[in-house]
Chain A
């Protein structure tokens, strides 16, 4: 699963989600009055968000990376934290459908933050498995890491199976001529995606290749290249 999320397609999709022009697109959408959907399929998402505020709180760090050598009590600058205030207010207010013109940008950011945090959790768990095997991490700590991963996986699963996610994609589809193609990763941009993956602490050389090697240059390592764009990835690279 980590391999798929950390592949050029997975990272490319998350990278595309991060682009700011979606906010502009959503603001320009002309048919907000017609946006109606089956809210029965977003109840699970609403319930999750209301039940697990700590997990939602973790999403605010999606744009933050822990500086090298920072002390354990380091706090990121407030301006680097992501907020979903409008969306949360709507949810806590018990609105009949949470996806509206006012909440759309927050929801988009919420999806992005969920993918980044899920990717980080997968990476952390993968690293934790290795450390635990080497006796460098107690099993209880690994449980804790897995616990966090499980929570993020549940959240992401709940998001992408909700009618809210579907209607968001539909709105993006209808915003302009390009529709959702702006969200589809492009194989020729894969180096940017990997840089993004490293910056967001999702991509990890050791986990991808199964061997240590530090910051090996993209073109210098055939194994990383193979893993990054294996046969099946190449086959479908730009045909979506």
Chain B
């Protein structure tokens, strides 16, 4: 959530409020952005979905794989860090973490504990966040390299236009009563 949405009431502006309202339907807002991105890259075929209906199960990689990713990321950055010390410190802090008064924090730290200790697999049910997908496309065009060897992530980032293609127009066929009729 951008900082402007967390601002105290004194800092509220018309623009921030309109943006907040838009956040109630990000998939459609993101779709518009994605379309712009596609139009600016006409030679690259990109499929796009309007809605993703089913969530998917996503498994967090083993801690060793996470460490390798972090190590690679650090070695490609300007940040000078002793990676071994970093991991030792991280593991100690997470394993020894105690904060009984905040359930939300405990829940999050517990996820990391399970990743680090390897006790039980860590699965999440996830739906793609279209704004994030848009961000990924902007950041890593034309192929999402992050998703290359991850089937689940690739599926999340894939976009298909089939929903629009089989429903090109809706003006003639909608009975207004559908909006109140029971299932």
Which of A's residues lie within 8 Å of B, judged by CB? 1, 4-5, 10, 13, 51-52, 54-55, 57-62, 64-66, 72, 76, 117-118, 120-121, 124, 127-129, 131, 143-148, 150-154, 156-157, 160-161, 165-166, 169-170, 173, 179-181, 183-184, 201, 231-232, 234-236, 239-240
Contacts and interface: CB of A to CB of B under 8 A. Distances in A.
B156 to A, nearest CB: 15
A202 to B, nearest CB: 12
Given A231-B104, A240-B12, A157 B176 contact: no
Interface in B1-33: 1, 5-9, 12, 14, 17-18, 20-29, 32
Contacts of A117: 179
B14 A173 contact: yes
A129 B53 contact: yes
B138 interface: no
B20 A240 contact: yes
Contacts of B177: 58, 61
Contacts, number: 135
Interface of B: 1, 5-9, 12, 14, 17-18, 20-29, 32, 50-51, 53, 104, 107-108, 163, 166-167, 170-183
A235 B102 CA distance: 12
A64 B180 contact: yes
A236 B5 contact: yes
Given A52-B171, A157-B29, A58 B179 contact: yes
Contacts of B174: 54-55, 58, 147-148, 151
A65 B171 contact: no
B179 A144 contact: no
A147 B175 CA distance: 11
B21 A160 contact: yes
Contact of B7 (A76, A157, A240): A240
Contacts of B17: 169, 173, 180, 183-184
Contact of B167 (A1, A143, A156): A143
A131 B182 CA distance: 13
A85 to B, nearest CB: 16
B6 A239 contact: yes
A3 to B, nearest CB: 9
A173 B15 CA distance: 11
A65 B180 CA distance: 6
A236 B6 contact: yes
B179 A147 contact: no
Contacts of A64: 180
Given A52-B171, A148-B174, A76 B180 contact: yes
